[in-house]
Structure 1
Amino acid sequence: MNSKVQLDPASIPSRKDQVSAEEWQLRVDLAAAYRLIALFGWDDLIFTHLSARLPGEEHHFLINPFGMMFDEITASSLVRVDQDGNKLDPNDFDINPAGFTIHSAIHAVRDDATCVMHTHTTAGVAVSAQQEGLLPLSQQSLFPLSNLSYHDYEGVALREDEKARLQADLGSTNFMILRNHGLLTVGSSVADTFLNMFILQRACEIQLQALSGNRPLTPIPDGIVQTIKQQADQVTKGMGGKLAWPGLLRKLDRENPGYAD
């Protein structure tokens, strides 16, 4: 696959028999997440990224080829890169270096972050620009608020020195709002990370709708925010994103099959 050749998912040979079963499953899940992001309207043309750490000690990762739309990503089209964003297969398509700057910074310090997702949705960017950030206005907002961090905007993420500040701001949280930029979630699996993004995105959408109503609002008391983590486990029966993931894959199979190619 030459990076100078037009991106065509249909022309990419299957890698199913070239990788381990564990890597193939991760590829399928990550490709599905890309297509779900597009299906829900959270993509930004070819920009923003989802990444996943491959099993093993090599610190290798999967990320999207730069130039391919999210709704056409396949398991075989995902690019394997090292911690510095170098392609491990020279025949793979190129990746976006700005995208991997953010992802590599997080993967480097968060061994629990198997997956990292970053979006530029209208609602996410709008809330990121609001001085107070995410407000406790909905049940959905409580899950991110119990585990949320912020990172100030420093321009397009190309500079190596920003990584340390991004890492420090994220800390041990799984939800981050990138000021004037968008949303970011991490998780121990693709399914968990997608569920985190779904909840954060929905909370931002609700906040914008509530603020547009020009009526007094009723914030949720701080004490309730502090109890939400335990309640989250009860809601998902301790399964996290895995509870909804099979249904999401069935939805994809109906509406945009082919991600597992």
Structure 2
Amino acid sequence: MPEPAPLPVEQLHFAMPPVHRSPDEERVHRKERLAGALRLFGSYGYEDGVSGHITARDPEFTSCFWVNPFGVPFDEAHPDDLILVNGEGQVLQGRHHVNQAAFTVHAQVHLARPDVVAVAHTHSEHGSALAALGELIDPLTQESCAFYEDHALYDAYTGVVVDEEEGRRIAGALGGRKAVILRNHGLLTVGDSVDAAAWWFLSLERSCRIQLAARAAGKPVLIEHRDAVATREQLGSDLVAWINYQPLWRRIARTF
């Protein structure tokens, strides 16, 4: 009996970022994904008291962004609880205060990067440990190559960021890259979707953990420059990040 014929490729399901029919529809989508990313970060233990934030630019009012409300646990995040904040840090919609540090850093990154939809920053354990060393991610694994020559170090620490000028300096250090390591502070990632920014944060945190573990075990062998660049070109786009994030979204979406 002959084996079954291959199915036409066009009949196989492959998820791609949705195309929205209106700003209202896109707003609902971004808020759902933002709440889901917060819950996912909570499940990974990235929450540290009231520190840590993910923001998403509003699709219609592009100088405003949605952010997790001050004092609400990550794993309780719901789209209806998110607050909308303008560029001056004033709450436009919602029932909670905004964390001023969230506004200061995230607002400046959003302002400097019109291409960025979402910004993620928390004090995750391994990211904070590598940040304390004031080092960048080395090209040690396929995943870490996504950040090769596409992340930066903000080589300063001046306390809790409540100063717009400090926020601008952090945005300047980030430049056009996907991530910045804030010395003695933690990690910050960006993306053209909530899914991409969240994936880059998860992947960067894991890269920090692997780098610290490899160094503790011996002398790590770096991937050569040409191969690291080629791998980044294959895996370093926001579309690839979005695709990688979808299994995690499906898992966390069941908690709503």
* Matched ranges for 1:69-148 at <5 A: 69-89=73-93, 92-148=95-151
* Matched ranges for 1:184-195 at <5 A: 184-195=188-199
State whether residues 50 and 71 of structure 2, in contact with CA within 8 Å, keep that contact through their aligned partners in structure 1.
Answer: yes
SS at match of 1:133: coil
Residues 107-116 or 164-173, more deviating: 164-173
State whether residues 45 and 70 of structure 1, in contact with CA within 8 Å, keep that contact through their aligned partners in structure 2.
Answer: no
- Following TM superposition, where does structure 1 have runs of at least 4 consecutive aligned residues deviating by more than 4 angstroms? none
What is the match of residue 249 of structure 1?
Answer: 249
Deviation at 1:239, TM superposition (A): 3.5
Deviation at 1:58, TM superposition (A): 4.9
The Cα offsets for residues 206-244 of structure 1, whole Å up to 9 and x where unpaired, read as 01111221x2321222222222232216xx8x8423323
Instruction: Name the aligned partner's letter for residue 191 of structure 2.
Output: G
TM-score (norm 2): 0.85
The Cα offsets for residues 102-144 of structure 1, whole Å up to 9 and x where unpaired, read as 1001001101110000011110011111143322222222111
Task: Say how many residue pairs are matched.
Answer: 233
Residues 101-110 or 157-166, more deviating: 157-166
Does residue 223 (structure 1) correspond to residue 226 (structure 2)? The answer is: yes
SS at match of 1:88: strand
Provide the C-alpha distance between the structure 1 equivalents of 2:221 and 2:241, rounded to a whole number of angstroms: 29
Deviation at 1:71, TM superposition (A): 0.2
Does residue 38 (structure 1) correspond to residue 42 (structure 2)? The answer is: yes
The Cα offsets for residues 59-118 of structure 1, whole Å up to 9 and x where unpaired, read as 1110011000000010000001101110013x6210110121110010011011100000
| RMSD of aligned alpha carbons | 1.9
Give structure 2 stretches of 5+ with no counterpart.
Answer: 1-22
Does residue 51 (structure 1) correspond to residue 70 (structure 2)? The answer is: no
TM-score (norm 1): 0.83
Give structure 1 stretches of 5+ with no counterpart.
Answer: 1-18
SS at match of 2:181: strand
State whether residues 153 and 181 of structure 2, in contact with CA within 8 Å, keep that contact through their aligned partners in structure 1.
Answer: yes
State whether residues 146 and 225 of structure 1, in contact with CA within 8 Å, keep that contact through their aligned partners in structure 2.
Answer: no
